[in-house]
Each structure stands twice: as C-alpha cells, then as structure tokens.
Structure 1
Amino acid sequence: MFDIFTTTHFSSAHHLRDYPGNCEKPHGHNWKVEVTIRADSLDQLGMGLDFRDLKAALKPIIDQLDHRDLNQHPAFADCNPSSENIAKYIFDELKKSLTTERYRPYQVTVLETDACGVTYRE
C-alpha cells in the first residue's frame, strides 16, 4: 500500500457553543491540514495518485473554510466546528471525489496550533 499526502492551511474564526471556557468566545486559528490518500496499487505511470489531482480535489473544500466564521458554515449548523468535526468534514468531502477501486481517503489531520491537533480516520 502507498500513502500519498499533501498539506495545506486556512484561516478562519469559530467558537464552540456551550464550551465551559474561553473557546466559547469567537476566536480564530491558522489551521494546518494534512490529507492522506491510501492507494492499493500504482497506475501505469507508477503513481498511487497524482499530487496535482489530490491538491485539485482538496482546494475547493479548503476554499469553503478559509476566511470565514465556521459557525456560519452549513456543515457546522448542528455541531461545533471543533478540530474533530472539521477533520471529519474534510474527509467526507474528499470521499466524494477521491474514492476509486484503487485509492481512497485514509486520514485527515487538522492542527489548531503547532502543538495541538487531531487525526480522523474512518
């Protein structure tokens, strides 16, 4: 198996509803995101998935999160825009366009800071 990954980032604001502390107040992060696709085999060019294709699939998802209040995003209407839920959202969106017989999303890591983050795997 081959794990193909890329990293990106976005900046946004959020607040955690009903959180017992400062994170209930609006604040922002420069989120870092690492996406890993798992390929069972290589294509005729010797690639599991072209990095260009991975970046192209990820870009519109990140663009929907960048420079906005995540609490206003439809995906977080019924749940907090926590790192956990953001990672799952990105994973689920990638699944729609990057799932084939040969490869599929494997994990998404979202970091709020350089020292704190979460990894989601299905």
Structure 2
Amino acid sequence: MYEVKIISEFSAAHHLRHFRGKCENLHGHNWKVEVVVRGSCLDESGMLIDFGVVKQITREILGGLDHRYLNDLPAFKERNPSSENIAEHLFEGLSERINNDHRWVYCVSAWESKDACATYWNDRR
C-alpha cells in the first residue's frame, strides 16, 4: 500500500448555527487542509499520483471556498460549515476527480487552527 499527502490552505468566514458559544457569531479562519491519497500500485513512472495533480485539483476545489462566506454556499445551506462538514465536502469533491481502480482519497483533514482539526474518511471505498 502507498500513501501520498499534500497540504494546502484557504481563508474563509462562517458562523455555526444552533451552537451556543462564540462560534455562533460571524468569524473567520485560515484553514489548513491535508489530503491523503492511498493506493495499491504505482504507475509506469513509479508514482501513485503526481503531487502536482493532487495539489492542482485541491486548489481548484478550494478556490470555491477561499475568501468566501461559507454559509452562503450551496454545500452549506442545509448543514453547518463546521470543520467536519468542510472536510467531508472536500473529500467528496476530491474523490470524484482522483479515485480510480488503483488509488483513492483516503482522508481529508480541515485544520481551523494550529491545534484543532476534523478528519473525514469513508470506509465504503
């Protein structure tokens, strides 16, 4: 088994509905995002997937979140833009573009601060 990880980031504002505390108010984060891709075999160049490909796809998806008010986005109209839901949203978008018979997005972590993150993975691969 092989594993590739990239780290990216984005900045955005949000508030958490139905939450009692400071995060119910409008605030922002500089999120760090970790994307882990796993796979069973390497391609003819000896790579699971090019880091640049994973970075580019991640940047494209994060472009829809960066410097936005997350609560206004369709993905978060019905659910809170919590770190958990952001990680799941990114996981789903990345999986659509990266997964094939030999590799898959294993997990995505959304760090809202240097010491707090949420990770999403799907055991149903």
TM-score, normalised relative to structure 1:
0.98
- Counterpart of 1:47? 47
Deviations 1:4-51 (A, max 9, x none): 110000000000011111111000000000000011100010000011
**Structure 1 position 8 matched with structure 2 position 15:** no
Amino acid at match of 2:26: P
1:57 and 1:100 map into 2 onto residues whose CA distance is: 15
- Counterpart of 1:57? 57
- Counterpart of 2:103? 103
Give the count of matched residue pairs.
122
Deviations 1:60-114 (A, max 9, x none): 1111110010001110010000000000000000111101111010000111100
SS at match of 1:90: helix
Amino acid at match of 2:111: L
TM-score, normalised relative to structure 2:
0.96
1:59 and 1:32 map into 2 onto residues whose CA distance is: 12
2:14 and 2:26 map into 1 onto residues whose CA distance is: 6
**Structure 1 position 116 matched with structure 2 position 113:** no
CA RMSD of aligned residues (A): 0.6
SS at match of 1:65: coil
Unpaired stretches in structure 1, ≥5 consecutive residues: none
Unpaired stretches in structure 2, ≥5 consecutive residues: none
What's the CA shift for 1:57?
A: 1.2
Identity between Structure 1 and Structure 2 (%)? 43
